[in-house]
Chains A and B, each alone.
Chain A
């Protein structure tokens, strides 16, 4: 995952020009313990929330805008089956999804006409009550974990030291440079690999401070009890069915982040990246000879 070094990180001392190359690459202590714990708790929590969320979606695979929305009302997104064809409809665009969405075959070979397939949901066969139980318990894990993590990033210096976007980094040229490097799969080497790049900073900030809070607040906005306690919350999102739609869109954005995140870990060196998120220690990729 990210490259984040502590100021006090024990980077290996520079080596004299005539000395033989160091036997092992320089290591930095990149991820402190709270980062590592939160990362893995979150990985499990978000997976459970996603899969149980897809089960809940299966109970009514239609999305609306506004306060109300049921079968007689216009859905801007729907997953359904017509005859032998499963499809996803967004607006007026219909995409055939037979086998994956709307109509699929389960492990026992039985054809199911549900939105998301059994391998993507908790539990695997239709069970709204269990889906809700998992979702509503792990929502607590996400919310408490995120709150603690936000407090720690703000108070512990992580935010200022590692995620803070410095003035020069906002320059369009700098951002464009980072985009080009990513596109060419050219990852920073040497000491530059110890810090977050601008795209990394922006995506982590977006996930931690925008997407995850948005998931929690749109989730709360769907609760009739919270609606009575905090009537303003559901209004902020434009009504309960809008909150449900935004919840789904933000979840899709998190899935997109996850896919890019995994791709980057694989491309940047999965062993080194994984080890750094387990032990904290990251081996700096050596500078390439000119």
Chain B
């Protein structure tokens, strides 16, 4: 906050253009309040209260509503990265992702490296759900994939594991996209690694060849272009420590059930 408005003589503030002259420093003062570390700390209490109350209200396995094919959005919008940059991804796409691997690492007994064929050979789940973007729009699509709980069971989660981190192939600016969730959402029956949208192979704009569906949270949690799944005890030291690409950069809520 600058003192620009404070030193203005009172007469000028009351002058005809007073409203405008006074409004500009007032607005910048508001923005300064918004950016103050103490404010951010207080504001984040809202997220904690929402997470605690939602978890108290809902069963661990409470399902997001599943729709019918009659309810599908005519066009399923994509957002964020529509095409990951780089030759490596382009080469994978040209080969139909035949050599794509998803690494399951971290606090697991048996680290895995899964091909798309491995993932499709596991038991599959299909669900028609509503995707809610943080921006406000919604789209309904049918997703098919393997439950994350099955993949984690195959790798064997260790006792110390508390969070699952999702690594992605798309780079936005200086860093690769990533997301994370706790074990309640990781082991939820509708949390799947999806490779099909509306019964067709996942389009590149929607995260080919594999993306996360985490149906009780907003769209930015649904990491696309998955390359790795990592079980960790803490989110400290991963990215800026807030548990996700946008959480680190613009302070989106890590708990995005709100």
A residues at B contact (CB < 8 Å): 56-57, 59-60, 62, 67-73, 107, 118-119, 122-125, 127-130, 132-134, 136-140, 222-231, 234, 240-241, 244
CB proximity to A under 8 Å, residues B49-76: 49-50, 54, 57-59, 62-65, 67, 71, 73-75
Q: Of the candidates B54, B73, B134, which one forms a contact with A225 in the assembled complex, judged by CB atoms under 8 Å apart?
A: B54
> Known contacts being A224-B64, A224-B132, is A136 close to B50, with CB within 8 Å?
yes
Most B C-beta atoms less than 10 A away, residue of A128, A132, A139, A230:
A132
Q: B49 contacts which of A72, A124, A127, A140 (Cβ < 8 Å)?
A: A140
User: Shortest distance in angstroms between B156's beta carbon and chain A's nearest beta carbon?
Assistant: 28
Q: Which residue of A lies closest to B31 (CB)?
A: A123
Query: DSSP class of A's interface residues: helix, strand, loop or mixed?
Result: helix
Does B34 contact A224, Cβ atoms closer than 8 Å? Answer: no
Q: Which residue of A lies closest to B62 (CB)?
A: A228
A sample of 11 inter-chain contacts (CB < 8 A) reads A69-B137, A73-B74, A127-B34, A137-B45, A137-B46, A139-B46, A224-B132, A225-B58, A225-B217, A225-B257, A240-B130
| Contact B138 A107, beta carbon cutoff 8 Å | no
Among candidates A71, A124, A128, A222, residue contacting B31 with C-beta atoms closer than 8 Å: A124
Residues of the B chain whose Cβ atoms lie less than 8 Å from the Cβ of A60: 133, 135-137
Which of A68, A134, A137, A228 lies in contact with B140, CB distance below 8 A? Answer: A68
Q: A225-B217, A225-B257 are in contact. Are A72 and B250 (CB under 8 A)?
A: no
Hey, which chain A residues are within 8 Å of B257, CB to CB? 223-226, 228
Q: Which residue of B lies closest to A118 (CB)?
A: B27
| Complex A-B, nearest 6 residue pairs according to Cβ-Cβ distance, in ascending order | A225-B257, A137-B46, A229-B58, A60-B136, A72-B75, A70-B137
Which residues of B are found within 8 Å of A72, using beta-carbon distances?
73-75, 77
A59-B136 in contact given A224-B215, A224-B216 (Cβ < 8 Å)? yes
Cα A128 to Cα B50 in complex, Å, equals: 18
Least CB distance, B102 to chain A, in whole angstroms: 25
What chain A residues lie within 8 Å of B64 (beta carbons)? 224, 227-228
Alpha-carbon separation in the docked complex, A226 to B256 (Å): 11
**Least Cβ–Cβ distance between B174 and chain A, in angstroms:** 18
